[in-house]
Amino acid sequence: MAENIVMPQLGESVTEGTISKWLVNIGDQVKKYDPVCEVITDKVNAEVPSSFSGTISEIVVQEGETVAVGTLLCRIAVEDQAIPPVEAKPSAANQDQGDNDVTTQAASNPRYSPAALKLAQENNLDLSRMEGSGAAGRITRKDILDLLQGKRQAVTTVPKAEPPSKPSQPVQSVQSVQSVQSVQSARDIPKSSVSIDTQSAVHSPFNQADETIPVTAIRKTIAERMVKSKQEIPHAWLTVECDVTNLVRYRDRIKEEFKQKEGIHLTYLPFFIKSVVEALKEFPTLNSQWTGDHILVKKAVHISMAVATDQALFVPVVKDADQKSIFGLAKSIDELVKKAREGKLALEDITGGTFTVNNTGSFGSVLSAPIINPPQVAILTVEAIVKRPIVVDNMIAVRDMMNVCLSLDHRVLDGLVCGRFLKRVKQNIEGCGTETGLY
């Protein structure tokens, strides 16, 4: 029997993935551990390796389809096993008849994947008016996306004229049939479709059609996780103000020397993460998880951080952050950011986070209320550093100020422990300066 390749679980909370590209075709020979397809999830892009050596005998899931973990992706006829006879090519004499049979079967009994059917229903599309690019004319999710993006047009089927041997059979002119069907198509296709009627085109750009942006697998999963977080976790928020004047002066003085010596930029984020992990040692409850019947306090401190790209938001993890120096944190952050932006994050780079530190200040934000990334119980954001007049020793002085915002899971954490934790983070950040060691 052929061996099965199924959708792997590419992360702790990953439940599904999207086939972005097949790297093999039916009939291809593969060796064990050779990649067979590329999969996209909300956390990582990865290749699925073959667990066997043999011949690809069947591809079950088409490109663009999103399926659950454990779903059959393809079958492989292992070595010394015959490929199923369905792949045998018909003889030249029967080629035309075979093609007609396949076409007739596909037309009379069309097959739509669940992902394609759902996308068509959401956009009120008639799949009977489309030609698929899949096996035996099967309509895939990619076909529908191409239609929505204007790369493909719905097919208008024109009846074939009867052969000359039957002159008594009246034949409609092709032009008449096309005219009737064009009117019918205009009635059936909703206004939200990418097709623009002649009147809209004439009045362009005032009456242009709205743009339809397909929801990618990554965006869909992010949406589901964020909705689940807000629905299940009772969020509460605390904010404190930090005077980072000494840190700003210190970094400005050493950043060029650091760049020449280490080859990486010295940002503020390593100082902030260092301040947070020192506070987590004192208040370990914030480094825990809610399991329903007990609270699991994690001994290791793995700091998650958000990295945004043009396509999605990734959350790589700085492992054992409490054991790293400022330089060690800066190096780890630089490596993870590069991997995220180049699409090279591995599974171990995005799993195991116990607490999240997010630098929203890089976008100029001065105050935020972040959403907790489950199963974690808290997330902290550091905001933009701005100069403000502050009263110091009963005198007004211009200082570099920054807000620090904490979101907490009120099932696990209360205001008292979080207030003390945030106070310690503030003290640690404000203590960064010329006395702070980098190594």
Give me the active site residues, please.
Answer: 410, 414
Distance CA 38, CA 369 (A): 35
Query: In the chain, how long is the greatest CA-to-CA distance?
Result: 107
46 and 10 in contact (C-beta within 8 Å)? yes
Query: Distance (Å, rounded) from C-alpha 87 to C-alpha 83?
Result: 7
Q: 38 is written with which tokens?
A: 């590329």
Which residue bears the tokens 């002066």?
A: 249
Torsions phi, psi for 261 (to 5 deg): -80, -45
Are 266 and 253 contacting, i.e. CB atoms less than 8 angstroms apart? no
Task: Tell me which residue of 139, 129, 137 sits closest to 195, measured CA to CA.
Answer: 129
Residue 242 has which token pair? Answer: 């930090």
Give the span between the Cα atoms of 66 and 17, in whole angstroms: 5
The separation between the first and the last C-alpha atoms of the chain, rounded to the nearest angstrom, is: 59
Phi, psi values for residue 188, rounded to 5°: -80, -35
Three-state DSSP class for residue 307? strand
Instruction: Tell me if residue 320 falls in helix, strand or coil.
Output: coil
